[in-house]
Amino acid sequence: MLTGIGLVLIFGYIGGKLVSRLKLPPLIGMLIVGIVIGPYVLDFLDSDLLLVSQDIRTFALIIILMRAGLGIKKDQIRQVGSIALRISSIPCILEGLTITGLAYYLLDFSFAEAGMLGFIIAAVSPAVVVPSMLDLKEKKYGEDKQIPTLLLAGTSIDDVFAITLFTFFLGLGTSGQESSLLFELAFIPFSIIAGVLGGAVIAVAAIYLFKSFNKKYVEKLLILIAVSILFVEWGEHVGIASLLGVMTLGFLIFEKIPKHTEQFTQSLAGLWIFLQILLFALVGAEVNIEVALDAGLMGLLIIALGLIGRSLGVWIATMNTELNTKERIFCMIAYTPKATVQAAMGGIPLAMGAEQGALILALAVLSIVVTAPLGAAAIYASAPRLLNQG
């Protein structure tokens, strides 16, 4: 497994640097490297590494979301709060319903299987969007209206809607159990509130603890990371928005003990240099190009129409706000990448015995292949043209 990690780090670093020379985000190179050295092309990676790939990717997301929280101020949350709730729900639901309808009528899926596909693909990728938004925050793009902060918050909540509704359709289609859609929808606010409160409780405990003993910043950060990992693992089992709680934890630490923030941020930035290569390369390693090609032109059409539905949702969610037309178009672009949820959940319907499980997996993989590199490139290319800097 160590050989595999070494290969991922070396080739991922080189791939990121080569792509950077083309004025594209390094993560595209890392994704491509993961695809090439992964099990479906050259098969350089040890199977043991692939078995723990999901855990490594989750750890990387914990780090980047904690880092995101440490950069968010209270007035920024006030500025984007209500918009963030709209932009995290309306686009996801519209895209999911669009793809559900298309799969039902064009691919002859059952209603349950169409819903599974719709809400697997509907999830936006925090693995792509969150690092991109942090980069834009550092470069001061869109900071006048807190657009990166808006999309950071929205991305975390967006996945809660997608995963909850996918779970409903999965139960409907594979177990034959008639669960209540209204109950599942009602659970979403609970999931979000529980995630935020859980992060807040950890933050309060950490603030009290850090004030009561004089330890080095690195040791304090180690405690935060360890507790965050346990919280995310526990949260996944009970279905709460634990990744949103990690961002809340970082936000409250920044608010209450700001003198710790700079040290924590520097340490996490150093750790992220290492983890981002693992994250994007291992996401790439999950991509089976042959399976993606099986989805064909009809698959591309469905994904494209789904993104149109999502973009319409973003436009509706940002109506009557202070965002101008260019900024609203940027929000549409920033909400296109797929990767994390699709890689993690695309194979679940097949494993659970869904009749169209193989095609659902193919379409999920195709959505990653098309939207992750193109979406990431579009974010960085459009930001200087559509957002104010400074």
Q: Which residue is associated with the tokens 């290492």?
A: 274
Given this model, what pLDDT does residue 180 score? Answer: 63
**pLDDT tens digits, residue range 266-296?**
889 889 888 989 988 888 888 888 887 877 8
Given this model, what pLDDT does residue 286 score? Answer: 81
Helices (H), the chain: 2-21, 26-37, 47-51, 53-69, 74-106, 111-121, 126-138, 147-174, 181-212, 217-238, 242-256, 258-285, 289-294, 296-317, 325-334, 340-345, 348-351, 357-386
Taking the C-alpha atoms of residue 291 and residue 295, their distance in angstroms, rounded to an integer, is 7
Q: How far is CA 35 from CA 31, 121, 328, 346, in A?
A: 6, 19, 32, 16
Give the residue-averaged pLDDT of 76-97.
85
Q: What is the CA radius of gyration of the chain?
A: 20
Given this model, what pLDDT does residue 77 score? Answer: 73
Given this model, what pLDDT does residue 198 score? Answer: 93
**What is the token pair recorded at 146?**
């807190």
**pLDDT tens digits, residue range 302-318?**
999 999 999 999 999 99
Q: CB–CB of 11/25 below 8 Å?
A: no
- pTM metric for this prediction: 0.84
**pLDDT tens digits, residue range 155-184?**
878 888 888 888 888 888 766 555 566 676
CA neighbor of 283 nearest in space, from 217, 359, 199, 376: 376
User: 141 — phi, psi (to 5°)?
Assistant: -80, 130
Taking the C-alpha atoms of residue 345 and residue 162, their distance in angstroms, rounded to an integer, is 11
DSSP 23: T
Given this model, what pLDDT does residue 104 score? Answer: 94
Q: Which domains, from first to last, does the chain contain?
A: 56-386 (1.20.1530.20)
Taking the C-alpha atoms of residue 199 and residue 250, their distance in angstroms, rounded to an integer, is 8
Grouping H, G, I as helix, E, B as strand and the rest as coil, residue 323 is coil
Given this model, what pLDDT does residue 181 score? Answer: 65
Instruction: Tell me the percentage of the chain whose pLDDT exceeds 90.
Output: 38
Given this model, what pLDDT does residue 318 score? Answer: 94
Q: How far is CA 301 from CA 80, 230, 332, 339, in A?
A: 33, 40, 18, 18
Given this model, what pLDDT does residue 316 score? Answer: 96
**pLDDT tens digits, residue range 184-219?**
667 778 888 898 899 999 999 998 888 777 767 888
Given this model, what pLDDT does residue 218 score? Answer: 84
Q: Which residue is associated with the tokens 């089992």?
A: 237
Alpha carbon 97 to its chain's center: 20
Given this model, what pLDDT does residue 37 score? Answer: 93
Given this model, what pLDDT does residue 178 score? Answer: 53
**pLDDT tens digits, residue range 42-80?**
998 888 888 888 888 889 889 988 988 887 777 777 767
CA neighbor of 112 nearest in space, from 104, 102, 120: 104
Taking the C-alpha atoms of residue 343 and residue 31, their distance in angstroms, rounded to an integer, is 12
Taking the C-alpha atoms of residue 255 and residue 60, their distance in angstroms, rounded to an integer, is 23
Kindly tell me if the per-residue pLDDT of 236 is higher than 90.
no
Alpha carbon 157 to its chain's center: 10
Taking the C-alpha atoms of residue 147 and residue 12, their distance in angstroms, rounded to an integer, is 29
User: 389 — phi, psi (to 5°)?
Assistant: -115, 135
Given this model, what pLDDT does residue 331 score? Answer: 96
